[in-house]
Structure 1
Amino acid sequence: MPTVAIEVVNHRTAETMRRGYMLPVRIGRGATCDIQLDPENRAISRLHVEIGEEDGKPVLINRALNQNATHYRGRSLKASERVPLETGDSFRIFDFELKVLEPAQLMVLAVDRADLRPRGEFPLVPGGALLAYGDGHRLAIEQVANLARIDATRLADKLALIFYYDESEPTFAVLSNPERLQVYLDRGFVQQDALYLQPLDTIELGDHRFEVHPVGQPAIVCENPTCQVLNEYDRGDNCRLCGTRLFGATRIVRGKT
C-alpha cells in the first residue's frame, strides 16, 4: 500500500512532527483526520486537504471550504484543485507548514555495539521493515520490503526482532525469544512484545542496543554508564532520565538524512 512521510511544523508553537502514513491521508481540524491541526481554529476546515494517489504517486487535493486557506508554491489553491506532490514539496495551512519527506528521512535505527555485525545506521521506511535475528551476542540485520515475505519458521529457534510501521506508528516487536532475554526501554524493564517508538528511544536486549536517532538533528548520550540514554542536544545541562550533567558526555550522534 502506498505510503508518504510528512513533516508538520506549527510555526506558532515551534513544534515539529514527522511520521509516515498510508494513503489516503486526511488533514484538517476534525477529530477523525489522520493529521489533526488546531481543532479550535474554525478557519481550518474539518477536512481541509487530502493526500491521495494518482498513478502510484501522491497528489494533494484541496477540500477547504474557505478561499485562500491552502497555499502551495506561493499561491492559493482553488476549491477541489489537485496538484502532484514530489519529495521536498511543502504546503501551508495558516500556522501549519507540511512537507513531503523522503521515507528514509522519517526514522533512523542505529545499532551500536562493538561485537555486533553489521553495525551502523539503517533507515526504517514506511511499508518496509528491519529484521534482526541471531542470539544474545550477535545479530544479522535484513531490510525487508514486505512484511508478508518474512519466513517466521526459520526464526523459531533464534532471537528475532522486527522494526516496522504499524499503520503510521513506528514499532518494535519481538518475534521469538528462546533465551528469554529481558527487554529494556530507556533502561526500564518492559513486558510488552511490541512497543511504539519515539525519537531518542533506546532498546536493549542482552548485548544488543538499538537507538532511535532524530533525523538531521544531533543527540547527546548520557555518560553515566548505568544510564546512557539519548538526550536532545540543546535540552539543558542534565540527562532527562538520571539527571547526570551532560557537559562531559562521551558521544554525540546525528541521524543521517
Structure 2
Amino acid sequence: MPTVAIAVVNERNSEEMRQGYVLPVRIGRGAACNIQLDPENRAISRLHVEILEENGRIVLLNRALNQNATMFHGRSLAANEKVALEIGDSFRIFDYELKVLAPSTLGLLHVDKGSLRPRAEHPLVPGGAILAYGDAHHLTVEPVARLDRIDTQKIAGRLALLFYFDGDQPTFAVLSNPEGLQVFLDRGLVQQDALYIQALDTIEIGDHRFEIHPVGEPAIVCENPSCQVLNHYDRGENCRLCGTRLFGATRIVRGKI
C-alpha cells in the first residue's frame, strides 16, 4: 500500500495540517473525503481531486468540473485531467495550498508470538496512527487517520495500544491495560505508558509482537525457530533479541507496503 504525506495550508486563517495517508487520497468538501476542505464552499466539489498510484508513480486526478478550480504549476487543470506528482509539488484549490511530502519510511508488522506468523502490516505515517485493541490473545489492528478521531467507546475496558508520531518521533503508548499485562521492548520490561521507538524495535505484550521496520529495506531474519525477528542488514553479528548467530543467506526484504 503506497503512502504519501500531505501538508494543507488554509490561507484564509493560516491554519496548517500535515498528515500521512495510504493511497488513494480523496480531497474535497464532502464528508467522505480523506481531506475535507471547507464544506460550506460550494465552489469546491464534493470530490474535487484524487491522488492515486499508477505504474509506480503518484498522480493527481482533477475531478472538479468548474474551470480554474484546481491550479497546478500556475495553470488550471481541465476536468478529469491527470498529472504526475513529485515529492515537493504543490497544487491549489481556491484558498487551500496542498503540498506533497515524503511517504512513510516505517512499517508496523503485527506477529503472532505463538506461531510467529505475520497477522497484519501497516504503514506508520506522520500525522496518522495505528490502533490495536482487544485482549491478551486477540487484537484488532487498524489505521486511524487522526488521533482526535479515536472511538473511545470501542476501546473501553479493553487492552488498547497506539503507535503514532509525536512530532517527528515514532512513539508507542499503552492507552489502557485492564489485564495488567507486562510490556517488553526488545525483551526489556517497559515501566512507562509511552516511549519513543525506532526502526527494528520489537514490542511484545500478551500473545502479540509488533516489529517496527524500515519500509522496503533489506533485513536479516533470525534463524532461531522461536525468534525469527528482523535484524539490521549490515549487522553481521548476533540476533539482537536471542543472540543466535546471523548469516547472510537469511537476508530478505519485508515491508513492501
Same fold (TM over 0.5): yes
Change (3 A) 1:187 1:55: closer
Give the Cα separation in 1 of the matches to 2:7 and 2:15.
18
Task: After TM superposition, give the deviation of residue 228 of structure 1 in Å.
Answer: 4.5
CA contact (8 A) 1:223 1:246 kept: yes
TM-score scaled by length of structure 2: 0.57
In the alignment, structure 1 residue 239 sits paired with structure 2 residue 239? yes
CA contact (8 A) 2:200 2:212 kept: yes
Change (3 A) 1:236 1:250: closer
CA contact (8 A) 1:136 1:208 kept: yes
CA deviation map 1:66-107 (0-9, x unaligned): xxxxxxxxxxxxxxxxx99x64459xxxxxxxxx98654321
1:135 is aligned to 135
2:144 is aligned to 144
Q: Is the partner of 1:235 in helix, strand or coil? A: coil
CA contact (8 A) 2:218 2:251 kept: no
Task: After TM superposition, give the deviation of residue 154 of structure 1 in Å.
Answer: 3.4
RMSD across aligned positions (CA):
3.8
1:216 is aligned to 216
1:34 is aligned to none
CA contact (8 A) 1:238 1:245 kept: yes
Give the Cα separation in 1 of the matches to 2:210 and 2:227.
14
In the alignment, structure 1 residue 198 sits paired with structure 2 residue 193? no
CA contact (8 A) 1:163 1:170 kept: yes
Task: After TM superposition, give the deviation of residue 229 of structure 1 in Å.
Answer: 4.0
The percentage of aligned residue pairs carrying the same residue is: 64
Q: Aligned residue pairs: how many?
A: 176
Q: Is the partner of 2:130 in helix, strand or coil? A: strand
CA deviation map 1:135-165 (0-9, x unaligned): 1011112211111111324322101111111
Change (3 A) 1:253 1:159: farther
Task: After TM superposition, give the deviation of residue 173 of structure 1 in Å.
Answer: 0.5
Counterpart residue type for residue 123 of structure 2 = P
CA contact (8 A) 1:187 1:227 kept: no
CA deviation map 1:19-78 (0-9, x unaligned): x9999xxxxxxxxxxxxxxxxxxxxxxxxxxxxxx99799xxxxxxxxxxxxxxxxxxxx
1:109 is aligned to 108
1:189 is aligned to 189
Give the Cα separation in 2 of the matches to 1:160 and 1:103.
29
CA contact (8 A) 1:117 1:138 kept: no
- The runs of at least 4 consecutive aligned structure 1 residues that moved more than 6 Å come to 20-23, 54-58, 114-118, 248-251
Give the Cα separation in 2 of the matches to 1:103 and 1:133.
29
CA deviation map 1:200-250 (0-9, x unaligned): 011100000101111221112323456544311222142245432112887
1:75 is aligned to none
Which runs of no fewer than 5 residues in structure 1 stay unpaired? 6-19, 24-53, 59-82, 91-99
CA deviation map 1:163-213 (0-9, x unaligned): 111111111101111111100111111111112110001110000010111
CA deviation map 1:99-132 (0-9, x unaligned): x986543211011227799922101111111111
CA contact (8 A) 2:104 2:126 kept: no
Change (3 A) 1:182 1:57: closer
TM-score scaled by length of structure 1: 0.57
